[in-house]
Structure formats: structure tokens, C-alpha cells
Amino acid sequence: MEDIKYVFDVKKDDFVRAGETSSKVKKILRELGIDSSIIRKISIAAYEAEMNIVIHSTGGQIVLEITPGVIRITANDRGPGIADVELAMKEGYSTATDRVREMGFGAGMGLPNMKRCSDRLYVTSSEGTGTHIVIEVDLKAGEQGE
Amino acid sequence: MNKMKEKYFHSVVLDADRCVGCTSCLKVCPTEAIRLKEGKACIIGEKCIDCGECIRICPNHAKNAVTDSKEILKNYKYTIAIPSLVLYGQFRGNVGINEMLTAVKKIGFDEIFEASVGTEIITNVIKNHILRNPEKKRPIINSSCPAALRLIQIRFPELLPNIADIETPVEIAARLAKAEAVRRTGFSMEEIGVIYISPCTARMTSVKHPIGIKKSYIDGVLSMKDVYGMMLRNLGSNTEDLTRSTKESLLWPIIGGQGEPLGIKNYLAVDGIHEVIKILEEIEMDKLEGLEFFEGMACVGGCVGGPLTIENPFIARRRMKTLAKGLPDSNPSDEEIKGQIEMYKSGFIRLTEAIEPKAVMRLDDDICKSIKKMEKIKEMLKDLPGIDCGVCGAPTCKAFAEDIVKGENRNAVCIVKTMKSFNKEKPQS
Ligand SMILES: Nc1ncnc2c1ncn2[C@@H]1O[C@H](COP(=O)(O)OP(=O)(O)O)[C@@H](O)[C@H]1O
Ligand SMILES: [Mg+2]
């Protein structure tokens, strides 16, 4: 009952608005009174997921769901998908073009950062279909602000 | 009511007679701390960071700062003025530093103590000690802007450990001035009054309610605007040799003046509260890798842009740079630096008290209730025009919905919505 859900569209190659979704996520969590260290983790993870949709996909959505026990970020895109998820998860692995790298993206740390900043990370993807990512962070008792 | 006032003392106050309820200040407030109530722009105490944006924007001068009056000098047997270095940029024409300081003294002070003593110490200690501590969270954030500090408390609590735990130039100057005067004059601490001449509203608040220290050594704060007038009359005669300022200290209150003398490449200096917010967002998200030092100043141009200054910040900056050219370079000896680091280690010029986060942005203490309230706000927003006109008294439609859900500002109505439904009901003719 006490769940709340927000859906944000993320466009391909839209660098002007890139980062806006994770900013909005952060603001919502702050207003809810979530502990600031958890806000930081979620917003970093959400940012990486958002940027991957902007850079690597043809567009998609970020969904934020909050329940009293867990915060969940779901990132869905329409493709092209990741051929080898295990490889993509490796630190430093990136298929980003030189152009993208010049702009300060594509260090290959996005997926590893999502892992580091979450309690659970699920990546489902294959070539041809889209990529589906779920990032979860638990709200343990006593971690809801001071 | 009185209790509330005590709890959230602010130097920024409303002159209700002058306020016409125009919504200008609502829009510029970086923490959405202003609401129109019965047509007057009231400040929400717990959210205000005393940045002074509202003072600057108000076309009717209805927002002001509470400062002390000259009468405060009568409370002390011996008085010391510490003028903010920004004062040096306030006079057009060829007014020299000694001439200005003499004019300040003639207001009725026994002694002038320059804030530049403090800027030198801060630069030396950060450069030679704090920056050398690998344990200290990066980027190290300047502690010199009290409005930025309050902003970090309420919006970026994760960055509190990054703040350089050293006092501000004025506070350091006040401590040294008082200690020296006690030794020299034989008066007690209480008999000596240290009065700061301030360009800054937030500093005024920090003197009454310090952040990071137990008690300020500053006994009174005069607004630079008030002092300017008093000084004008005194300029020009019997100039004393009072200044010991260096080039670096004159550049210190100009944006970049704190990061530059540290001798590091990876520093970033940002001025203007809204830009500071943007960069702090990036720092909080670990997006500025390798950044060693962040200098964030709430006012445009740095302290030269303070809300209590007279001169345009860009002209003041030019003037200060010109004056700086005629001053000697800062050239501290190893001995001096060692002594200053000791002073920092002993706690005398250090922020010894924890700077606590303030969760004023949250809807409720209980997360379940917060979620319910958020859901209600979301529902209400679907029905509001979303044009953030401010006529209801809240800066945005979202703030309007929040206030209602929180049970504050119950009487507020959305005129745009009312008009729309009125138009719909009108029969077509
Ligand atoms: N949403 C996505 N769609 C397609 N490919 C992706 C997506 N997300 C990640 N990838 C692939 O995984 C690689 C590693 O991702 P990541 O760790 O975020 O590093 P980076 O984005 O810096 O390349 C990317 O270079 C890309 O090949
Ligand atoms: Mg990435």
C-alpha cells in the first residue's frame, strides 16, 4: 500500500538532459527523508543506468519505486542489448567510441559502480532485445535519517 | 512565537510595511524558504541559509539584515574594528588602504585589526597541513562562506566531512586581536569589544549562532553599508600607517583567491549560490574525480558581492586588484607556518564542534508517512497548472502542494486553477 512509483523517459544521445533523471530521483529521496548515504548510493547507480541508456541504447525508461523496506531503480531500454553481460560487468570494459570518451564518459565503470552502490543488481540482456536492469538498496531499520 | 524566533535566528528579516507581495524573492531563494502569507514575504526559519539573495533582488528594499548599531561601542572599555577586506574595494577615486582604515578608526575605535592576518593563516595551514593529510575527504571544501556551509548542512550532508575544519579569516583575526589586546592593555576579555564590519548577512547569523565552534570572539557586527556613510566624512585627514596586508590577502575575498595561493592545479572556484549548488551536486555524485579543493562562495564574485556592500562587485574587484598591485607578496617563514599549524592543532583557530546535518527538506520523520504525503503531492500536481507563477504564495506548484500536504499555509488557493474551472463552467455563447 505504502509504495510510490515514478517513471522517467530517457532519450538516446540527449546529453543536454542527461543526468536530469538521477537528479530528480535524488530530490524525491531527500524529501522522503531517506538517509543521505543511501541517497548518494542510489543516485550514483541511477546516474550510471541513465547514462548507459543515453550512450549505449536507442532509448528507454527509468523507474523509481520506493517501499518502506527497499528502494528500487529499474532501467529498461529498447535495445540493442548486451551480447556478453559478464564481460560488460568487468571494470574498465567499454565499447564507448572515442568521441564519447573524450566527453568524459565510457571509463567502463558504470555497471561495476551500480554493483558497488546496490545491495542487489540484476542485469538481463541479450543482443536483439533490450537491456533490463534492476538496482535495489535496502532501507534497514534505523537508517531513515536521524 | 518568541521561542521560534530564538530557535532560528536569522539576520535576514522582512520589513512588512515595504513588502508589496511581488514574488520576486520567492523565486530566487535557493532553499525555497519564502512564502507569501497575507501578501507578505515571510521567511521559513529552518530553511533560510541567510544568503541574502532576497535582499539583493527586492525592488522595494523590504528585505533587510539585522546588524548592530554604532551604540554597541559604548558597551566596551576598549574597542577593536575588524573591517572585512572587501571594504578596501568600496571607494572610488584614489583612496588608499591606510586612509580607509584611519577613517574607520575615527568612528570611535581604539584599534584596527586587519582580517588579512586570518587569510594568511588559513592559506598556510590548508596548504601545509590539511592538504597533506591523505585521510581528509576530497575535495576539501572551504569553510569561509557561512551561507555555503548552511547550504551543505541542509542539502548536501554527505559532504560535511569534506569541509576544511579551520575558522574563517574574521574569526581568526578576532581571536588574535582579543588575545593580544588583553596582554597589551590589561583589560579583561569582557571589557574588550571586537566589532566586525561585514559585507555578509550570513556572517552576522554565524556570530550569534556559530557553526563549528562554541562561541564567536566577535562581539558585534556593523553593516558595511552603515559604516560606509560614517567613513566618508572621515576620509582624507591625518592618515595613520595601519595596514600590513599582502597581495594575496587582498585577492582572497575575490572568487579564486582562496584556491589560487594553495599552489595546486586541481582546485575549482565557483561563485553564486545557484552555481555552487550545481557543482556540489556533481561533487556529491563523485563526478569531479581528482578535485583537491573546492572554493564555493554564495555571492557573485565572492565576498566582494556581499549583500551589505555598496559598490558594484565587478568595480570593487577591479579596485581591489589595483590596490593589491601596490602591496608586498606574502612571504611567511617556516617558523611562522609551524606556529600557525600548532595554533590549528591546539584548536584555537579550528572548527572543534561537529557540523550537524539538518534534514529540513523531508516531508515527515516517518518514512511511511513521507511516502503517503509524497503520493498525495503527486496526485495534486496532476491537477495544478505547473506554471510556477507564485501567486498562491509558494515559489512553485510543487511547493504549494507540499505546504498543503504538510498542513502549512492552509489558506492558499491556486488562482489559475480556479479561473480555468470557472471558464469551463461558463456556458458557450
Ligand atoms: N543499456 C545498454 N545497452 C547496450 N549496451 C550497454 C548498456 N549498458 C552497458 N552496455 C555495454 O556495457 C559496457 C560497459 O558499461 P559500463 O560499465 O556502464 O561502462 P561504459 O558505459 O563506461 O562503457 C558498455 O560499454 C556497453 O558496451
Ligand atoms: Mg556507463
Amino acid at A138: D
Nearest to A6, CA basis, from B155, A19, A16, A22 = A22
Q: What predicted TM-score, i.e. pTM, was given to this entire model? A: 0.90
Residues of chain A contacting B375 with CB distance shorter than 8 Å: 4
Distance CA A110, CA A114 (A): 6
Whole-number pLDDT of residue A143:
47
A&B contacts, CB < 8 Å: 62
Q: Are A127 and A80 in contact (CB under 8 A)?
A: yes
Distances from the Cα of B278 to the Cα of A23, B161, B273, B294, angstroms? 10, 19, 9, 13
Whole-number pLDDT of residue B429:
52
Distance CA B41, CA B79 (A): 37
Whole-number pLDDT of residue A5:
94
pLDDT for residue A101 is more than 90: no
Higher per-residue pLDDT: B419 or B251: B251
Mark out the alpha helices in B60-210 (DSSP H runs). Answer: 97-105, 116-128, 146-155, 169-185, 201-208
Ligand nearest to the CA of A47: 2
Which residues form the pocket of ligand 1, taking CB atoms under 6 Å from any ligand atom?
A: A 48, 52-53, 55-57, 77, 80, 82, 88, 93-96, 105-111, 131
Please identify, by atom number, the ligand 1 atom nearest to the C-alpha of residue A89: 17
Q: How many CB atoms lie within 10 A of CB B128?
A: 17
pLDDT band, residue B289 (cuts 50/70/90)? confident
C-alpha cell at B65: 539584515
pLDDT for residue B309 is more than 90: yes
- Per the CB < 8 Å rule, is A33 touching B359? yes
pLDDT (tens digit, 9 = 90+) per residue, B69-127?
999 999 999 999 999 999 999 999 889 999 999 999 999 999 999 999 999 999 999 99
Distance in angstroms between the alpha carbons of the first and the last residue of chain B: 53
Q: How far is CA B79 from the centre of its chain?
A: 25
Rounded to the nearest whole angstrom, what is the distance from the C-alpha of residue A30 to the centroid of ligand 1?
28
pLDDT band, residue B195 (cuts 50/70/90)? very high
Q: How many CB atoms lie within 10 A of CB A32?
A: 24
Q: What domains, with CATH codes, occur in chain B?
A: 1-66 (3.30.70.20), 70-345 (no CATH), 362-429 (1.10.15)
Whole-number pLDDT of residue B41:
95
Nearest CA distance, A134 vs chain B (angstrom): 20
Integer-rounded Cα Rg, in Å, for chain B is: 24
Ligand nearest to the CA of A108: 1
pLDDT (tens digit, 9 = 90+) per residue, A41-91?
999 999 999 999 999 999 999 999 999 899 999 999 998 999 999 999 999
Distance CA B6, CA B4 (A): 5
pLDDT for residue B236 is more than 90: no
Residues of chain A contacting B382 with CB distance shorter than 8 Å: none
Q: Are B48 and B19 in contact (CB under 8 A)?
A: no
**What architecture is domain A4-138?**
2-Layer Sandwich (3.30)
Q: Are B412 and B394 in contact (CB under 8 A)?
A: yes
Strand A131-138 and strand B12-14: pairing? Answer: unpaired
- Burial pattern B35-58, b for ≥16 Cβ within 10 A else e, equals bbeeebbbbbeebbbbbbbbbbbb
Rounded to the nearest whole angstrom, what is the distance from the C-alpha of residue A140 to the centroid of ligand 2?
28
Of A31, A68, A139, the CB nearest to B362: A31
Average pLDDT over residues B372-383: 93
Rounded to the nearest whole angstrom, what is the distance from the C-alpha of residue A95 to the centroid of ligand 2?
10
Residues ≥6 apart with Cβ < 8 Å to B302? B253, B254, B255, B256, B257, B271
pLDDT for residue B3 is more than 50: no
Ligand nearest to the CA of A113: 1
- Matching residue, cell 562562495: B297
> DSSP secondary structure string, B5-31?
HHHT--SEEE-TTT----SHHHHH-TT
Nearest to B198, CA basis, from B116, B281, B304 = B304
Q: Are B46 and B71 in contact (CB under 8 A)?
A: no
| Average pLDDT for chain B | 93
Q: Are B395 and B29 in contact (CB under 8 A)?
A: yes
- Per the CB < 8 Å rule, is A2 touching B363? no
pLDDT band, residue A3 (cuts 50/70/90)? confident
Whole-number pLDDT of residue A79:
83
- Matching residue, cell 565510457: A106
- In the 8-state DSSP scheme, what is residue A33? T
Strand A131-138 and strand A120-125: pairing? Answer: antiparallel
Average pLDDT over residues B165-179: 97
Average pLDDT over residues B310-322: 96
Interface of B with A (CB under 8 A): 155, 157-158, 281, 284-286, 357, 359, 361-368, 370-372, 374-375, 378, 402
Distance CA B159, CA B13 (A): 29
Could you tell me the residue ranges of all domains in chain A? 4-138
Residues of chain B contacting A51 with CB distance shorter than 8 Å: none
pLDDT for residue B6 is more than 80: no
Distance CA A58, CA A54 (A): 8
**Helices A36-56 and A20-32, axial angle in degrees (round to 10):** 160
Nearest to B200, CA basis, from B238, B270, B148 = B148
- Per the CB < 8 Å rule, is A33 touching B363? yes
Whole-number pLDDT of residue B237:
78
Whole-number pLDDT of residue B150:
96
Distance CA A115, CA A136 (A): 10
pLDDT band, residue B419 (cuts 50/70/90)? confident
Average pLDDT over residues B232-253: 94
Average pLDDT over residues B180-199: 97
Whole-number pLDDT of residue A144:
46
pLDDT for residue B4 is more than 70: no
Distance CA A56, CA A105 (A): 11
Sign of CA dihedral B64, B318, B253, B277: positive
Neighbours of ion ligand 2 (CB under 5 A): A 52, 110
